[in-house]
Amino acid sequence: MNLTDLIGIVAQVTEQPEAKVKDALETAIEVMADALADHESVKLPGLGRLDVCQVGMPRAVRVAPYGQTREMAPHAVRFRAVKRLKKEVNIRAAYV
């Protein structure tokens, strides 16, 4: 499912115009992206939780040309499904 499909389904279920649904979903996604960029947890009831976690060793990174050097580590977003979803969909099977 992509965003266009989701917009169509939500518009049909809620009987709202697709333009309103598109604006609402895009705003929600933008808010979640901002929260993840700030290393906050995003909890989605019925689905799970998105967390930002460190995936590598910190290394020296130059912030700007001729600027200061900072220690930074690579990060990734991790999805932790709720128990019901883990049982229904074997998420780890896709990575084997």
Per residue in 2-25, pLDDT (tens digit) is 999 999 999 999 999 999 999 999
The domains of the chain are located at: 1-38, 41-96
Cα(96)–Cα(91) distance, rounded to whole angstroms? 10
Q: Which residue has the higher pLDDT, 51 or 86?
A: 51
pLDDT of residue 62: 77
pLDDT of residue 18: 95
Cα(62)–Cα(33) distance, rounded to whole angstroms? 25
| Strand pairing report for 42-44 and 69-72 | unpaired
At 88, list the tokens: 């229904």
Cα(4)–Cα(34) distance, rounded to whole angstroms? 22
CA 53 vs CA 16, 82, 90: distances in Å = 37, 18, 22
Q: Which residue has the higher pLDDT, 66 or 24?
A: 24
Please say if the pLDDT value at position 93 is more than 70.
no
Ranges 20-24, 31-35, 48-52, 82-86: which has the least confidence: 82-86
